[in-house]
């Protein structure tokens, strides 16, 4: 896939990290998923909703999907204060993510890597704290985390859930994503990303 972007350095770094993830045998998103994540982050940041943007990668692995969030947000983070939090429960992956993300050409974005269970950690945030979140954890946990995000995500914020198609999350999750306070759609990448915006 060819992508015409201004930030060639960061894109090349993202592809390098993808190669590392593959060599380690870590399941990761595809580049088309990354493009969708970066696009959603860019669109949200361009709306000017907030001068302080908090983005979370829940289930960050070694930081590959986190880098796509950074790619989308980076053009705005000289004007807005941006923080990206990578949450990963696996000790080895979290340690590698720290090294990966500190070396990334990320501009003025603050980075934090947290080794914790994503559902537990997100639940500890203040209400209406998160602007954007990408979720790629155990699919049975999607039901719990979407409930938590109904208060932790800002109004108008975007939650993205990987594997809307394969492996498919529980039916209850889709029912919740289609009910108040959410409006949602599925971006038809090969594995699918359900995007949900908190409307109230």
User: Higher model confidence: residue 77 or residue 51?
Assistant: 77
Q: How confident is the model at residue 160 (pLDDT cuts 50, 70, 90)?
A: very high
pLDDT digits (tens, 9 = 90+) for 91-102: 999 999 999 999
Q: Is a pLDDT exceeding 70 seen at residue 3?
A: no
pLDDT digits (tens, 9 = 90+) for 10-20: 999 999 999 99
Is residue 111 within 8 Å of 87, Cβ to Cβ? Answer: no
3-class SS letters over the chain: CCCCCCCHHHHHHHHHHHHHHHHCCCCCCCHHHHHHHHHHHHHHHHCCCCCEEEEEEECCCCCHHHHHHHHHHHHHCCCCEEEEEEECCCHHHHHHHHHHHHCCCCCCCEEEEECCCHHHHHHCCCCCCEEEEEECCCHHHHHHHHHHHHHHEEEEEEEEEECCCCCCCCHHHHHHHCCCCEEEEEECCCCCEEEEEECC
Which superfamily is assigned to 8-198 in CATH? Vaccinia Virus protein VP39 (3.40.50.150)
| Mean pLDDT value of segment 40-52 | 88
Q: How confident is the model at residue 49 (pLDDT cuts 50, 70, 90)?
A: confident
């Amino acid at each position: 896939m060819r992508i015409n972007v201004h930030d060639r350095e960061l894109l090349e770094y993202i592809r390098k990290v993808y190669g590392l993830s593959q060599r380690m045998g870590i399941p990761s998103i595809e580049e088309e998923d990354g493009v969708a994540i970066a696009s959603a982050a860019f669109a949200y940041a361009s709306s000017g909703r907030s001068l302080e943007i908090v983005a979370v990668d829940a289930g960050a692995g070694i930081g590959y999907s986190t880098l796509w969030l950074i790619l989308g947000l980076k053009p705005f983070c000289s004007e807005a204060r941006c923080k990206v939090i990578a949450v990963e429960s696996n000790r080895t992956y979290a340690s590698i993510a720290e090294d990966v993300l500190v070396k990334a050409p990320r501009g003025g974005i603050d980075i934090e890597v947290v080794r914790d269970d994503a559902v537990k950690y997100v639940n500890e945030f203040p209400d209406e704290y998160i602007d954007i979140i990408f979720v790629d954890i155990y699919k049975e946990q999607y039901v719990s985390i979407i409930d938590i995000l109904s208060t932790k995500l800002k109004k108008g914020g975007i939650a993205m859930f990987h594997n809307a198609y394969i492996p498919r999350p529980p039916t209850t999750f889709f029912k919740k994503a289609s009910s108040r306070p959410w409006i949602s759609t599925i971006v038809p990448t090969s594995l699918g990303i359900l995007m949900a915006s908190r409307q109230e």
